[in-house]
Amino acid sequence: MIREAIVLAGGFGTRLQTVVKEVPKPMAPVAGKPFLQYILDYLIAHKVAHVVLAVGYLRETIIDYFGDNYQSLSITYAVEENPLGTGGGILNACNQIKGDNVFVINGDTFFDVDLVELSAFHETNNALLTVALKKMEKFDRYGTVETDNEGRIIGFLEKKYLDEGLINGGIYCLNKHIFHPELPAAFSFEKEILEKEIVNRKIYGLRSEGYFIDIGIPEDYARAQDDFKGK
């Protein structure tokens, strides 16, 4: 079982500026707690022992709140002095990961995936990357993911309205060897890794039926206030 995780917590939260100001998006208050706290609680419940928080914008807010430990979690910080993009942020954080495999989580998304199942599927398939997939209905906000019968990802499709489809749920199980030495410091994980590496047939997707929310827009941020009451 993988016991390390990276949380991407450096987002600006541009679409939330009308309702959340002066804190990085993962620190947006949800039912009386920073959203990031729910993610850390989730990692603790899945026996993760060490988390690297990839931070940038207003990072002092996160560092001052959580420090070096949160309950049983050891916390370290991968600081972005300049924006590194999703790929550069993950790669920078990987420098603090001891093992070959690590969970990667978007700091503005909560997806209740069974990490034990995700880890086992990843390792059984000797995957370089496994993406947690969520079935959505009647949506146009997300691109979709296509897989073959064995779970290999064979395509990423552009955003458009669909009655139903599988989306990238923002949780990965990643092998550090997926990163090539020639990558620049700043790059897009989606463009440089996901879209390019599917030809090597080492990227898999695992569907999960767990609760999912992305607080990146005001409507879903408002819904989260009700969904997380009492948690």
State pTM to two decimals.
Answer: 0.95
Per-residue pLDDT of 181-230, as tens digits, reads 999 999 999 889 998 888 878 899 999 999 999 998 888 999 999 999 98
Give residue 61's identity as a one-letter amino acid code: T
Element (H, E) at 8: strand 4-8
> What number of helices (H) and strands (E) belong to the chain?
7, 14
Please name the residue that has the structure tokens 């899945």.
46
- CATH code (residue 23): 3.90.550.10
**Quick one: tokens of 190?**
């989606």
Copy the structure tokens of residue 144. Answer: 């979709």
The number of distinct structural domains making up the chain is 1
Task: Return the DSSP state at 3.
Answer: -
Give the residue among 77, 119, 138 at the shortest CA–CA distance from 204.
119
Residues 6+ apart with CB under 8 A from 231: 31, 38, 41
How many residues does the structure list for the chain?
A: 231
DSSP state string for 187-213: --HIIIIIHHHGGGT-EEEEEE-S-EE
**Which band of pLDDT confidence, cut at 50, 70 and 90, is reported for residue 1?**
confident
Q: What's the pLDDT tens digit per position in 103-158?
A: 999 999 999 999 999 999 999 999 999 999 999 999 888 899 999 999 999 999 88
**CB neighbours of 196 closer than 8 A, spacing ≥ 6?**
none
Provide the domain limits for residue 190. 4-227
Residue 170 near residue 109, CB atoms below 8 Å: yes
